[in-house]
Amino acid sequence: MTISNTGAHLAGALGVPSVFILGDGFKRSWPVEGDRTPYYPSAVLVSKRERPWSAAMAEADNCMERLLRAGST
């Protein structure tokens, strides 16, 4: 789980399952289809979408839990 930074791009380029947390200002710099981007299909994108950060972080936490459960099977 990370914000939009070098670590996010490295994880995405390597195909590491990840959750990227994006603020409202990233709407134009990330081509998004739902919660995915064609650049990094292994990543789940969680956007703040003009809601409280606590709501965005709760969604990111749920996404990470799903990724961890999927990886342990």
| Residue type for position 35 | D
User: Global pTM?
Assistant: 0.85
CA distance 50 to 45: 15
Residue-level pLDDT at 49: 87
Short-list 49, 56, 53, CA closest to 25: 49
Give the per-residue pLDDT at 28. Answer: 66
pLDDT at 30: 77
Q: Is there a contact between 18 and 10 (Cβ–Cβ < 8 Å)?
A: no
- Beta-bridge partners for 33: 36
